[in-house]
Structure 1
Amino acid sequence: MSQLFSRYDIGRLTLANRIVIAPMCQYSADEGKATSWHQIHLGHLALSGASLLIVEATAVAPAGRISPQDLGLWDDGTEQALADVVKTVRQHSSIALGIQLAHAGRKASTRVPWEGGDNIHPDAGGWQTLAPSALSFAASDFPPRAMTGDDIEALKADFVAAALRAQRIGFDLIELHAAHGYLLHQFLSPLANRRTDQYGGSLENRLRLTLEVFQAVRAAVAADIPVGVRISGSDWVDGGWDIQQSIALARALQDLGCDYIHVSSGGLSPQQKIPVGPGYQIPFARQIKEATGMNTIAVGLITEPEQAEAIVATGEADMIALARAVLYDPRWPWHAAAKLGAKVHGPKQYWRSEPHYVKDLFLKE
């Protein structure tokens, strides 16, 4: 029996298999509001056969957007627009839905990737960015403003407010974004955090904001909604955030009731040197799982069904997440199930699509 297609529980949420669709920014919102693109994008991914679909990094405040076109969840308008998308998806799919809540910090106020992704200065239509310290991501960026104590309290309130909106919309799971060089990661890494107050310096201090945000969100939402955290296992820069600090963070989150860790890497510094290759981030997930026993999601160049099966079957991670691979092949879980002799959920309108050499692929319950 395929382990990849076995059921799995994250907190009180039971998932049909171990395949997750990772959050992927679409840069297609209108002043933070979901659009018809999100209906199409999330709609077809919801028919993929994966067990969990996590909506892209969703800004908890306008200044937290990576680009002006980022998805947001900070007022009634953004809530209603996203609720409309969720309602449509739920009409046609039983997939569990999660959302990743985020603030981009010093990596905010940029052009969309297909326009170069460069920082937009405030006098050119961008905005003043925030960071733990007044250190830019790139030398050409407009410098961020170091956050005050009041800014930090407002940030925690913004995460809680967005989480409560996500709960009202009906999301099954909430993920906090502390990876890829965005604001919470900036506080974690000594490369971006040069503060001298209780949020900087020692590892304990650098962990503090992520732990406080998690604790506030966990306390605010219902107990049956799992809350997890996505982290970067390493900055891939000497002297930066690394796997040992990641394990310390995971242990601290575990003590606060964190339901899972979603392990990526990089994104904090242009000086990163990443040895990209198939499954290159899997060792980070494995080490965190070995050290803590927490539910772990592994991601990063997982492209083949046999590769994904081995990751789960050998216990390197509990679940695997697909990003670009599932954009390229939105039926990846179907094809994986066919290869591994498993069954998968698919819409009844598509049941007749089975190739002649594949029998009883779809679960018809």
Structure 2
Amino acid sequence: MNKEAILALEDGRVFRGFSFGASGEAAGEVVFNTSMMGYQEILTDPSYKGQMVCMTYPLIGNYGVNRQDVESIRPFVEGFIVKEASKTYSNWRATEALGDYLKRNRIVGIEGIDTRALTKHLREEGAKKGIISTKDLNHKSLIKKAVESPGLVGRDLIKEVMCKKAYDWNAKGKFRVVAVDSGIKHNILRHLEKRNCRVRVVPATAKKEEIQAFKPHGLFLSNGPGDPEALPYIVDTVKGLIGELPIFGICLGHQILGRAFGGKTYKLKFGHHGGNQPVIDLRTKRVEITAQNHGFAVDVDSIPDKNVILTHINLNDKTSEGMEHKKLPIFSVQYHPEAAPGPHDAWHHFDRFIELME
């Protein structure tokens, strides 16, 4: 018999379901992801630290879990929410079932709830703090715990996901690139390596001098979790490197760059999470379907340096998705050009970074 589990949101909404994965209790900001596949990459994306992910596609786990499709050293989501978790799987690379993988990594999951109703609620009311529990089934108690949970605003989570010391991703390459790890995904590093980059990965706490010691041709600012406003140390480091070398930022790296230019960031109502977000390049009018995972955005208009211009916007809500400096070799995008999972429309941004270093 399946063990009962409950998802409770801070606004009092409660969903009853069944446990899969680890037993216990987990809290985080509840968001929905519209990707139809790629759940293993989503689970291991460090940007999801502090969040519990609801998959909108109804059947998850049917191709199991393998050793190749991880994007970091382990899963970082706080909890996983699905309509139906497949007990059986079929794929030639698969090594275990999704539920067993979550249990082994101590990730609490819930299945059997109405994920459509949850998604519509979040879409209308905004992302909510929530809690999944298999041990406390009292609605009032769980709602209270959800209300009291920390959420994302004001939190520095990158120290919980970054590397502890610098390391070399690969040994050879024409271009020396320092990648600042705020929760970097492996596929970013693969893209850089594929383009003849020798990549040194440094923790987000690295100082300007440590970055310069590698004599890099370019600086890459990675994705990551939490609130960019809580990261003054990395903002100050990036501020000191502006104008000294080409810089490319994505996701949190885009937000860090925006703040380094003196701009403001703000919390989105429900964020963008999934593999089908339409973005338009304002310069070329080209539309890309992109992979996204962010709950904060840059207010490009607040940046004092008017050489920094808005280059991309989201076609759903018109929020900023990219910027560049008109005189310096610096640009960034809010979305994930490396995908994993997601479409490949935006791979060309890595090529542009190479061009700036040549």
TM-score (normalizing by structure 1): 0.28
Please identify which structure carries the higher helix content: 1
> Going by fraction, where is strand more abundant, 1 or 2?
2
